[in-house]
Amino acid sequence: MKIERPKGTRDFTPAEMAERNYVEKVIESVFERANYSQIKTPTFEHVELFEEKSGEDIKAHLYTFEDKKKRVLCLRPEATAPVCRMYAETLRNMPMPVKAYYFDPMFRYEEPQKGRYREFWQLGLELIGAKGALADAEVIYLAYSCLKKLGLRFRLELSHLGVMRGLLSSLKLSESDQRKVIACVDKKDFVEVKKIVGDETFFKLVSLRGGKKELEEARKLLHGYGKASEALNELAEITEILDLLGVEYVVDFGVARGLEYYTGMVFEVRVDCLGAQNQIAGGGRYDDLIELFAGVSVPAVGFAFGFDRVVEAMKEQKISFPKKEVDVVVAPTSSDVRGEAMKIAADLRSSFIVDVDLMERRLGRILEYASVINAKYVVIVGRKDLGRGEVTVRNMLSGEQRNIPLSKIKEEISKDFD
């Protein structure tokens, strides 16, 4: 019987998991050092959670199913709405701001291609309860720091949805038309946008891309558009903090985001090496989402890495991952010393990464195995040596072998670990 993986899913080999674990650790350590704590939400939720404010794109790609009691559930397509639900249900009494991060699989029924999967991982964070430029800048800074720490080359594109929305409101577009326009701008479908917006100012705005000069141009362009100008001031304030922190960014008024819950600052991170699916992170401020579940208005901001794409971009950019290291392989030379060999391995494991022969192989074969897995030492356990309270320690790099008393094995091996 041949059963294959479901379309859009992947298996990960031990080598791939070692790479993924490394990336996870680097990112999580940046989050932990900024005092964010990990949370978990369920893999499936009531479908209504994503219906109100996630946007058409997400809704079209939901993995929906009915349970035995006819409840309509879905595998989570993203984690921001679940975290807001969790905030309303269980996190409300925590000291503010709530600083939470997650690393979980998400599910979207999309057409798979390079960098786009039906099951994919997001490593993201949400900062709940803090409003203003400082909170926005912190979130952007954390995303930036993680990618710098991993050694990636990337572009951070920054905008503020209040600018686009403010202008569209001044142009008297209804809420639903605004949503349509923002979704089309996100997809760079300007033919559709033209059908709804006639004003040239809008097209000038969304094509503005650069730095301080473009912010100034936007200021001139939006002179007299009250709400849009206010949002622009907020964006300028964020950029000033980012400048202080040494964060490199591109102000791009064409960044719109595919999800509907954003209300303020938005950002996306892109790389050149991944083809069409080149967005490796996205986020922004969503001050109206929590109210939907909690009944009170609570400001919030966050972002998520497309974890798989971060790992893939690192490979494309030839960034090396630390190799998995095996310090010792313990090799019994006959079946009557296997128990003792296992005991020696168990003791050594308090200090080293230790493999022990479990295949009942002959010594020559164990040495071959140790060499294939790049072990640094082989501890050869033989009956005769044991009788003298000794083992033979072989340095796999130099080929040198020495008889060592049982009580001194750790010392011998530690020499090279200083």
**Gap between the Cα atoms of 173 and 100, Å rounded:** 36
Decide if residue 124 touches ligand HAM (CB under 6 A): yes
Burial 35-61 (b: 16+ CB within 10 A, else e): ebeebebeebbebebbeebbbebbbee
Residue 303: its H or E element? strand 300-306
Decide if residue 255 touches ligand HAM (CB under 6 A): no
Decide if residue 260 touches ligand HAM (CB under 6 A): no
Instruction: Give the orientation angle of helix 161-170 with respect to helix 175-186, to 10 degrees.
Output: 130
Q: Choose one: 90-98, 171-179, 219-227, 280-288; the region binding ligand HAM (CB under 6 A).
A: 280-288
Spatial contact of 73 and 44, defined as CB atoms under 8 Å apart: yes
Q: Which of 258, 264, 299, 332 binds ligand HAM (CB under 6 A)?
A: 258
The candidate with the shortest Cα–Cα distance to 319, out of 9, 3, 22, 8, is 22
# residues near ligand HAM by CB under 6 A:
25
Query: Residue 36 Cβ, how far from ligand HAM at the closest point, in Å?
Result: 12
**Residue 291 or 340 having the CB closest to ligand HAM:** 291
As beta bridge partners, residue 104 has 122
**Gap between the Cα atoms of 37 and 335, Å rounded:** 49
Spatial contact of 408 and 348, defined as CB atoms under 8 Å apart: no
Residues of this chain, 57-96, that bind ligand HAM according to CB under 6 A: 78-80
Spatial contact of 216 and 263, defined as CB atoms under 8 Å apart: no
**Residue 166 or 282 having the CB closest to ligand HAM:** 282
Q: Choose one: 89-97, 237-245, 303-311, 331-339; the region binding ligand HAM (CB under 6 A).
A: 303-311
**Residue 1 or 276 having the CB closest to ligand HAM:** 276
Query: Residue 42 Cβ, how far from ligand HAM at the closest point, in Å?
Result: 16
Decide if residue 282 touches ligand HAM (CB under 6 A): yes
Decide if residue 304 touches ligand HAM (CB under 6 A): yes
Q: Which of 49, 122, 129, 251 binds ligand HAM (CB under 6 A)?
A: 122
Decide if residue 53 touches ligand HAM (CB under 6 A): no
Decide if residue 120 touches ligand HAM (CB under 6 A): yes
Spatial contact of 273 and 315, defined as CB atoms under 8 Å apart: no
Residue nearest to ligand HAM (CB): 306
Give the SS3 label for residue 269: strand
Decide if residue 278 touches ligand HAM (CB under 6 A): no
Decide if residue 126 touches ligand HAM (CB under 6 A): yes
**Gap between the Cα atoms of 78 and 7, Å rounded:** 19
Q: Which residues bind to ligand HAM, rule: CB under 6 A?
A: 78-80, 108, 110, 116-117, 120, 122, 124, 126, 258-259, 279-284, 302-304, 306, 308-309
